[in-house]
Amino acid sequence: MEFSKLNRTLFLNFVIFAGFISCNNINDKAGKFLPYLNSGENPKILVFTPGSNEANVSPNTKVQVTFDRLMKIDTCVSSLSISPNVTGFFHTTPISIEFTPSASLNAGTYTVAITKGCESEGGQDLKDVFTSRFAVGAAPGSSVNSPSILAVNTLRGSLSACLAGTGSLSDMIANDITDGCLGTTINRNPISIFFSEPMDIALTSLAVALSPSIPSDFDWSTDGRTLTITPDLPNTFGQRITVNVSSNATSALGYKMANSSSVSFVAGGIFSSPAVQAIGLASQGCANALPGVGAVLGGDWTLGSCFWDSSLALLGAGSYRFRGGDDGTGLVGSPNACADVNTDNFRIIFSNYMQTAVTASAVRIQRVSPPLTNARIATYVWSDCQAVFPFGCRALTVSFSEQEASCNGTLFGDASTGGDFNLLRTSTAPVGFPLYNLIVDTTAKDVNGASLQSQFIFGVEGK
């Protein structure tokens, strides 16, 4: 009994001492301890890790073997096998082997065997074939789990709310997000991925990708649980952005995700067939490119945004007020009241690139309040155009003329007046009068030949 205690004590001292000496001089400086360690004719394995039948072993584990005497260590390396097969690297001393896998181990059970071909320096084989098993990954009922994704958040809301910084955080896993915020050049809309465990930042960053590929900045929280992806530029309206996380995402302990994950959201809103995305006036702060941003409560011709956008409810005509450009001073043959005034020039922003001539011809304005009038398009201008095939534009600004306006008396303006570009005078009209409908017919087509699904009618009031 006393000898056994002494043997264990000397062995521990040897292991500690051996840590301070190199493999090259272990025979000289450590060999004197070995007579106290080896007992019996055949060599034995004193220490093996991971432990036999050990579960929840880290995927980054190393296999370590320590013998009770000096060995022909190359014979032991060639006698060692792992099933299923694992590639890796060996580090040896005259009494030990350390095997480091070249990659993290997959979840499952591994069997390590060392045959009797492993010989001591004196030529003796191992007394018995050595076999040990261990399991990587969680055992049933264990609290150790592969990492998972808890949430993938981004900001969503109406265009105006997003620009005002009042968009709300929403989880793509739990919600179908079709109104994700676009962000601005100053405040882009980030995506945050929340993991259940601290992650290996380098490996997990490589496992995360956006589709389509978007240049972005990856930032990790200090605890390694949250990855924030911030795009370099604002999102594109109508674009579906997919967040892909492959099963190569790895926890700090070396556990891989059990399955890959893919979630997505639509920036701004969903459009397939062309649709009217926003309506406003040229006199307003209404964008001349997609997307236009509307006002929740509407407004008049001095509004700092468009009247309306597709993320907002459509209000009554009295909530959207324009001012007719005619001031009542027109005369027959005179240019008075004929020059274009932009308070009645309507801006229509489409979701898709449109065929310009066909779509402009599909736009008209109609007075609803009596007396009925004769209104025509005087001129139009397209903006937000693409310079490559199939070309097309998305923002149309239209000037209307109304025959009953004072320009050139009871006639439309002509060459002698320099044209006619205004609707009737409305500055003296009573509350709630007159009402007009701005109409976009289904003959409007995008560059792919798709038409509006239904006629678009937008009610406005002249003031």
- All domains of the chain, ordered by start, with CATH? 45-136 (2.60.40.3710), 149-267 (2.60.40.3710), 276-462 (no CATH)
pTM: 0.60
The single residue listed with the structure tokens 């929840």 is 56
| pLDDT higher than threshold 50 for residue 446 | yes
Which one, of 276, 274, 268, lies nearest residue 240 by Cα? 268
Q: What percent of the chain shows pLDDT beyond 70?
A: 90
The mean pLDDT of 2-7, rounded to a whole number, is 40
Give the whole-angstrom CA distance, residue 296 versus residue 309.
9
Edge-to-edge strands, sheet with 456-462: 321-322, 456-462, 435-440, 363-367
The mean pLDDT of 334-356, rounded to a whole number, is 97
Strands (E), 207-345: 208-211, 216-220, 226-231, 240-245, 261-267, 276-281, 308-309, 321-322
pLDDT bracket for residue 146 (50, 70, 90): confident
Radius of gyration of the chain (CA): 39
Other CB atoms within a 10 A radius of the CB of residue 457 amount to 13
Q: What percent of the chain shows pLDDT beyond 90?
A: 79
Q: Which of 13-27, 170-184, 313-327 has the lowest mean pLDDT?
A: 13-27
Count, residues in the chain: 463
For 262, residues 6+ apart whose C-beta sits below 8 A from its C-beta are 242, 243, 244, 245
For residue 41, what is the DSSP state?
S
Cβ atoms 456, 348 nearer than 8 A: no
| pLDDT higher than threshold 90 for residue 31 | no
Q: Which of 196-200, 220-224, 387-391 has the lowest mean pLDDT?
A: 387-391
| pLDDT higher than threshold 70 for residue 270 | yes
Q: So what's the pLDDT on residue 255?
A: 85
142 in helix, strand or coil?
Answer: coil
Cβ atoms 257, 362 nearer than 8 A: no
| pLDDT higher than threshold 80 for residue 246 | yes
Cβ atoms 127, 95 nearer than 8 A: no
pLDDT bracket for residue 141 (50, 70, 90): very low
pLDDT bracket for residue 292 (50, 70, 90): very high
pLDDT bracket for residue 145 (50, 70, 90): low
* 352 sits in which H/E element: strand 346-354
Cβ atoms 326, 339 nearer than 8 A: no
| pLDDT higher than threshold 80 for residue 70 | yes
| pLDDT higher than threshold 60 for residue 97 | yes
Q: So what's the pLDDT on residue 1?
A: 40
The mean pLDDT of 133-150, rounded to a whole number, is 73
For residue 187, what is the DSSP state?
S
pLDDT bracket for residue 453 (50, 70, 90): very high
Q: Which of 22-31, 108-117, 134-143 has the lowest mean pLDDT?
A: 22-31
Give the whole-angstrom CA distance, residue 100 versus residue 87.
9
